[in-house]
Amino acid sequence: MTTTGGFSVTIATLIAAGRLDERLLEAALARIHSAEFTRWIDRGDAADFESPLPPQELRQVLEGWEGADVIVHTSGPRQKRLLVADMDSTIIGQECIDELADYAGVKPQVADITERAMRGELDFAGALAERVALLEGLEFETIAQCLAERIRPNPGAETLVRTMSALGATTILVSGGFTAFVEPIARKVGFDRFEANVLEVAAGKLTGSTSGRIVDSHVKQEVLVRACEELELRPDETMAIGDGANDALMVMAAGLGIAYHAKPVLAEVADACLEHHGLDALLWAQGINRARWIED
């Protein structure tokens, strides 16, 4: 949201990669009273417009548009200087603990607990302990096999992270999963640092427990807040991305909180939802055109 001559307007980015033509743009503007086109970010892909509606009201008007994502901006700098992202089902397309559980023959039990925890139906720490206990006795080296065979970054993840880093932002991967997965994913995607849980290992096998503090929703929020203090940033200079209940506090604390293919409990509190495009679309949301992207 910006103020021009004492009058507040809300800026929104309309994203429909490869198909954003004049007809679609006009249809978007017709939905909103007094909305105006302001600029193309990338012609045919993403454009900005502004409206006198407040951010939450504008989001409600535009939600549910098939094939298009709309990012409604709150106050603060458009280009963010800190990115804090969840990993499972956000930066990567899988839930690592569910995939690891498949090697132990207990995936249905573990996946059911994961799903309920992501919906906010279970206490996260208790759900984590219950799932880890089911992995007791699994060979630690199975994690490397699982990473190689099953774990893949989501579309656009590397472009988003590497571009923001190249433009001077700090990037942090924060996960309720495990360092044995998070560290190699952080390195592959290009994050500056990471925070995650630690699996206990004895004689080369998982003990069924974790060690140290549990990275829950409060810790994720704390990571963002402390990074702001360390980097001397305002909250409105930050962006956070997640998909489940465990990400809600972090997403709400950020200047731009994004729910990515998210559970309703997170989508309801986020500033915007990304449903139809890869994570690199969040560069358009920051006003960064494709010519500046760091792509493979």
Catalytic residues: 86, 88
Cα–Cα distance for residue pair 209/206, rounded to 1 Å: 8
Closest alpha carbon to 285 in 262, 248, 254: 254
End-to-end alpha-carbon separation of the chain, Å?
33
Sequential DSSP letters for 141-158 = THHHHHHHHH--BPTTHH
Cα angle 27-28-30, degrees, rounded to a multiple of 5: 65
At which residue do the structure tokens 């709400």 appear? 252
Residues 6+ positions from 152 with CB-CB distance below 8 Å: 92, 93, 94
- Are the C-beta atoms of 131 and 110 separated by less than 8 Å? yes
3-class SS of residue 289: coil
- Are the C-beta atoms of 282 and 241 separated by less than 8 Å? yes
Q: How far is CA 34 from CA 27, 70, 291, in A?
A: 13, 17, 31
Sequential DSSP letters for 63-104 = TT-TT-EEEE--SS-SS-SEEEE-IIIIIBSS-HHHHHHHHT
- Are the C-beta atoms of 135 and 104 separated by less than 8 Å? yes
Cα–Cα distance for residue pair 105/140, rounded to 1 Å: 15
